[in-house]
Chain A
């Protein structure tokens, strides 16, 4: 009969095998592979940009003094006036359909840029519009039929000419999920001056509104 001898090598091997068995238990526990975990999955997101220019912009302004006028729809500048009985409100939006974003997508960031072409000491506030409108038909009388948020998304000072930027991420994110971006109403919330911003029909490209949009889908 062969006699089994406990050599230092065999003893070390036995200890190593035993340790590996215990180590396996420790790793399983640290991985959280408990029996109550039923299902795990992940969703990868695709990031991209879809910047907007005058080619996808639609804008107008409406005039309290001319409540049925739709002339703002073809104007090259959009007037904003806080003057009593002669207020003017501007409206601006972008058609995001070219971005091909599903309603499960979202905005990571969105920044609207407008160019003040006629300056005045006004604060201009942007209020989100969530109902449909068209620059060819919207007039002062039609504004009361729109759904417009009561809280301003952002503001800018029109005291100097030049580009003004407003972060509109939350509005655009919500609009992507709703399927359409209906833009913003721009009106003076302080000041007494009549100011103007460039329209999408402006002859100078740099005067037209634009929007940078970073998204995920």
Chain B
């Protein structure tokens, strides 16, 4: 009986560990393609892209313009978050990158009422 109990205990622990590893693998945690910051190489661009924003006369952001997006990124989704100095999201928007010739400018709108004076960081991601 003791041996049976031991076997069941070890098997249960092993099973739980196996589930954890398998799930992590399915989430892509071993591909090495993920990253943050300005130096990570992505699938369609080798460097971080620069953005500018426009404001209305009240100083609220009306649109974000991501410059020189490579043609290879067409079809992927570009998402942007406007963050304050505490890296709290003040507004977010995303768009599917369309086809264009050469470098594209992707315009994101619909951030809500966000004062440009409070925005200190643009956070971006590209997803398929």
Given A36-B128, A39-B45, A104-B37 contact (CB < 8 Å): no
A to B contact number (C-beta, < 8 Å): 162
**In the complex, which residues 7-53 of chain A have their Cβ closer than 8 Å to any Cβ of chain B?**
10-11, 14, 17-22, 24-25, 28-29, 33-45, 47
Nearest CB of B to A183, in Å: 15
- Range for the number of chain A residues in contact with chain B: 35 or more
Q: Are B128 and A41 in contact (CB under 8 A)?
A: no
- Answer whether residue A86 sits at the interface, using C-beta atoms and an 8 A cutoff: no
CB distance from B124 to the nearest CB of A (A): 5
Residues of B within 8 Å of A38, CB to CB, are 33, 42-44, 76, 126-128
- A24 to B28: give the CA distance in the assembly, Å: 14
A41 close to B52 (CB less than 8 A): no
Chain B hits for A199, CB < 8 A: none
A25 and B16 CA atoms in complex are apart in Å by: 11
A5, B2: Cβ atoms under 8 Å? Answer: yes
Complex CA gap A4/B116 in Å reads: 66
Q: Is A177 interfacial (CB-CB < 8 Å)?
A: yes
Point out the residues of chain A lying under 8 angstroms from B9, CB to CB: 6, 10-11, 14
Q: How far is the CA of A204 from the CA of B74 in the complex (A)?
A: 58
Q: A35-B27, A37-B127 are in contact. Are A45 and B122 (CB under 8 A)?
A: yes
- For residue B120, which residue of chain A has the nearest CB? A45
- Whether A44 lies near B52 (C-beta < 8 A) is no
Return chain B residues, CB-CB under 8 Å to A214.
Answer: 117
Shortest beta-carbon contacts, A-B, top 6: A39-B42, A35-B28, A21-B20, A18-B16, A41-B48, A25-B23
Q: Beyond A39-B44, A177-B52, list 13 extra A-B contacts (CB 8 Å).
A: A4-B2, A14-B10, A14-B13, A18-B13, A34-B27, A37-B126, A43-B50, A43-B121, A45-B119, A47-B117, A106-B52, A108-B117, A168-B57
Q: Residues on B close to A: CB < 8 A?
A: 2-3, 5-6, 9-10, 12-13, 16-17, 19-21, 23-24, 26-29, 31, 33-38, 40-45, 48-59, 67, 76, 83, 115-117, 119-128
